[in-house]
Amino acid sequence: MAQFKYKVRNVQGVAVEKTVEARDATVLRSSLREQGYYVLQIQEVKGGLLSRDFDLTSINNALTPIKIRDKSIFSRQFSALINAGVNLVRALSVLQEQTKNVQMAKFIERIRLDVEQGSSLADAMRKHPKAFDNLYVAMVQAGEVGGCLDEVLERLSKLLEDQDRLNRQIKAALSYPTTVLFLAVGLFLAMVTFILPVFRGIFKQLGGELPAFTLFMLGISDALQSVVGWILLFVIGGGTIFGYRYIYKTRAGREVIDRIKLKIPLFGDLIQKSSVARFCRTFGALTRSGVPILTSLEIVRDTSGNQVIANAVDKARAAIREGGQIAVTIQKEQVFPPMATQMMSVGEETGELDTMLFKVAEYYEMEVELSVKALTSLLEPIMIVVLGGMVGSVILSMYLPMFTIFDQVR
């Protein structure tokens, strides 16, 4: 793919200039003519750091992340265009022009060029996993084969909107304790670094033996007074983060950590409910769109976000190959609540698995919303105690020597 700078005139007679990627100038010229533009000029842009077209804005746009909301809006608009009878190439051109996310627009342009060359929409999207994951591609492929692409895109939009809402609810629950924790740590470090040393001189004038807790806090203060202490603090923090990520990359480490997450007080229940809701919503959308069960389970496993759930899904896939049931296998793993597995079992027996999966997803999404509200109200006093404890420990270390001296005077 090369970059080309073109100048065209639209149907209103207005001149438009833009830089895009294309296979070659001929393909780009044909594409622009099909969109109704009158081509004035097409010029290839030469790459290089010293190029005249180099600018920081283009780099920032290239690094713009593609959010779930971007994909949701794209899916809903794409569905409306297809339902209105607009052909794929024309629809993709319209979406490329009105997409605000520059990175997303580039992916849409590349997909449109591949579709123009005879590629299927699913195969064209499969080349860009950063924007369209296996779940998205599988559902689009099923929609193309079944002739119901507009319906599948509408389901994808709904699925992505539900995922986005669920993620925002969880982030809302974590934002308050995270903010208070950073504030507590910042206040603790500031008091130990700048306030506690002021009392060192007072302690020397008073004389006497300092309490062990005060000596411990003064040791921390001494360490933070030097560059080496701060370097050591960052090394320990960075090493902890690096070690966590390294362990989490391994299958065994990820399984242990994810299992611990499900058992964390307060948060474990929230993680389990959100995982159940995500699993059922995704699995239901795939099966309703006509994706084969085994393929659906493989995609759900990869998008579950929890290795414990992924292991249960793997065993469910193996059971289906041998003629078993999904719900029975997952129930043995004790990953999901009994109500969820029972409703899945009823769905399998009645042939309405997708309907039951959506009902379970809706129920646990509501449970997540209620859990978030309860967790937020419960965390407020806990974090106040944490903040008070960290600040109070510094104050206590400053006043303990005075209490000791007063006892000696008596």
Structure tokens at 269: 């229940």
Packing angle of the helix pair 134-146, 267-288 (nearest 10 deg) = 20
Instruction: Tell me the three state secondary structure of residue 347.
Output: helix
Say if domain 2-54 classifies as CATH 3.10.20: yes
Which candidate, 193, 203, 183, places its Cα nearest to that of 229? 193
Residue whose entry in the numeric block shows the structure tokens 């993709």: 92
Structure tokens at 373: 């509200």
Q: Where in the chain is the domain with CATH 1.20.81.30?
A: 66-161, 162-410
Q: Are 65 and 103 in contact (CB under 8 A)?
A: yes
Q: What is the mean pLDDT of the chain?
A: 82
pLDDT of the residue at 64: 66
pLDDT at 50 over 70: no
Q: Into which CATH architecture does domain 66-161 fall?
A: Up-down Bundle (1.20)
**pLDDT class of 242 with cuts at 50, 70, 90:** very high
pLDDT at 12 over 70: no
pLDDT at 59 over 60: no
DSSP per-residue codes, 58-87: HHHHHT----HHHHHHHHHHHHHHHHTT--
Q: Where in the chain is the domain with CATH 3.10.20?
A: 2-54
Structure tokens at 51: 């190029």
CA distance 66 to 215: 51
Which of 18-32, 53-67, 259-273 is predicted least confidently? 53-67
The residue that leads in pLDDT, 315 or 47, is 315
Which of 19-23, 62-66, 264-268, 389-393 is predicted least confidently? 62-66
Structure tokens at 120: 């299927």
Topology at the third CATH level for domain 162-410? Receptor-associated Protein (1.20.81)
268's CB contacts (< 8 A; 6+ apart) are 261, 262
Which of 24-28, 87-91, 185-189, 321-325 is predicted least confidently? 24-28
Which candidate, 362, 359, 324, 328, places its Cα nearest to that of 342? 328
Pairing relationship of beta strands 2-9 and 38-44 according to DSSP bridges = antiparallel
**pLDDT class of 239 with cuts at 50, 70, 90:** very high
In 221-377 the beta strands, taken as DSSP E runs, fall at none
DSSP state of 20: E
Number of CB atoms found within 10 A of residue 342's CB: 15
CA distance 383 to 389: 9
Digit-coded pLDDT (tens) for 196-227: 887 777 777 766 677 888 888 888 888 888 78
CA distance 311 to 319: 12
DSSP per-residue codes, 212-247: HHHHHHHHHHHHHTSHHHHHHHHHHHHHHHHHHHHH
The residue that leads in pLDDT, 63 or 87, is 87
CA distance 17 to 5: 7
Which of 38-47, 145-154, 219-228 is predicted least confidently? 38-47
Mean pLDDT for the stretch of residues 376-392:
83
